[in-house]
Amino acid sequence: MRFELRSVDEMRIGMGRVRRATRQATLLATLVVFTLLHRAAQASKAGGLIAFIVSRQDIGYTSGAGNLYVVNTDGSSLKRIVTGGNCTYAVWMPDGKRILAAQRDRLVSVKANGTGMRTIVSMRGWTCYTPSVSRETERLVFAASRSEDQLERLIVAGFNGRAPRVLLSQESQPGTAFASPFFVDGGRRIVFNEHGSEAGYASLHSVEVSSGKRRQLYGYGKDAKYYDCYHPALSTDGRWLACYSESWPGGISETTRGRGIVVMTSGGGNAKLVMNTTERLNGLCWSPDGKEIVFGSDEGLKILNLRTRKVRWLVRRGFASSPSWQPVGAPKAKSR
């Protein structure tokens, strides 16, 4: 065995290289940790989870159903938390601990890990759909339809389902008169989507909770720029509305209709197209910071960045609908 003797200078050079390599490794490790912490902070700022429905068919507004899923905002940890194929719509409760979901003739709430399901509203003979909640007034609003006489109702109740009150009622095709309702102006008004009735086709309306007085905000017959408006969603700060729009100039025919996401003020003004698409969208939801919009489509779940107008995949799985972003400041919920 041969040993090679090195000079002191050579040894110093070798030790210097070791120290530089150690510093570089430490710097790289620090950078990796910082990046992970930054991403975690951003995810926490935007809300920890997105809840949504996956079904094998178009759920329309009252037909068909699917399973309830949650996923992190970066697309990781996808988890099916409610099986059985009975869920049609879902929305986070304001505390971010539970999810409110429509299941045929009832509304249920469930924890983010799928446990602790309980019935909030039960309406035998009716189909409940598109529930929404108001943090300010601690009330929920939802629509219900009865196919035997084509009666539609817009109903307001407490978080626990108590003291339900019919706010609006009319005859209409199932699921068309009061779709996708949500509270605005601190719970004083409710905005909803109406389509297929004499009052307007695929248009946005609002109603005062106290008086029941309603008016059309936007859509077919009122604005000539973007016609059909579906799946309206309110930004967290209450300033902006987003909706899925079809049929604008240059794409009005049934075979070449335009599709995209339109953003407007909460009063229905200053509408702007922020995304074109060839897909049919199945629900929208703003991120808590108002910088992104998550939407469901026939191919899965995607997120639109409103500044860059770039779209990224979140989940590639079946027919995704009714996405709901966990509220900011909510306790971190673990999917398992």
Same domain, 152 and 193: yes
Cβ atoms of 190 and 215 closer than 8 Å: no
Q: Is 183 exposed, middle or buried (0-12, 13-18, 19+ CB in 10 A)?
A: buried
Query: Which of 1-10, 117-126, 211-220, 222-231 reaches the highest mean pLDDT?
Result: 117-126
Q: Is residue 335 assigned to a domain? A: no
Confidence of residue 99 (pLDDT cuts 50, 70, 90): very high
C-alpha span between 201 and 41 (Å, rounded): 43
Q: What residues make up the domain containing 21?
A: 1-46
Same domain, 95 and 24: no
Cβ atoms of 100 and 108 closer than 8 Å: yes
Structure tokens at 223: 């604005």
Residues 127-149 have a mean pLDDT of: 92
Which residues have CB under 8 Å from 189's CB, separation 6+? 183, 206, 207, 208, 209
Based on the structure, what is the number of domains in the chain? 2
Q: Is residue 336 assigned to a domain? A: no
For residue 273, pLDDT beyond 50: yes
Cβ atoms of 214 and 168 closer than 8 Å: yes
Angle at 205 between CA 199 and CA 210, to 5 degrees: 115
Sheet holding 179-184, edge to edge: 179-184, 189-194, 203-208, 214-218
Q: Is residue 267 assigned to a domain? A: yes
Same domain, 241 and 125: yes
Supply the pLDDT for residue 323: 96
In residues, how long is the chain?
336
Supply the pLDDT for residue 37: 41
Q: Is residue 202 assigned to a domain? A: yes
Same domain, 156 and 270: yes
Q: Is residue 8 assigned to a domain? A: yes
Residue 258, amino acid: G
Q: Is residue 188 assigned to a domain? A: yes
More confidently predicted of 84 and 254: 84
Same domain, 103 and 9: no
Same domain, 2 and 115: no
Residues 141-157 have a mean pLDDT of: 94
Q: Is residue 332 assigned to a domain? A: no
Which residues have CB under 8 Å from 104's CB, separation 6+? 65, 86, 88, 127, 128
Q: Where are the alpha helices (DSSP H) in the chain?
A: 8-46
C-alpha span between 115 and 178 (Å, rounded): 30
- Torsion sign, CA atoms 245, 246, 247, 250: positive
pTM, 2 dp: 0.79
Supply the pLDDT for residue 245: 84
Name the pairing type of β-strands 66-72 and 79-87: antiparallel
Q: Strand, helix or coil at 198? A: coil
**How big is the chain by its Cα radius of gyration, in Å?**
25
Same domain, 155 and 174: yes
Supply the pLDDT for residue 230: 87
Same domain, 147 and 286: yes
For residue 41, pLDDT beyond 70: no
Same domain, 202 and 65: yes
Same domain, 259 and 213: yes
Same domain, 232 and 289: yes
Q: Is residue 242 assigned to a domain? A: yes
CATH number at residue 238: 2.120.10.30
Mean pLDDT of the chain: 81
Same domain, 59 and 137: yes
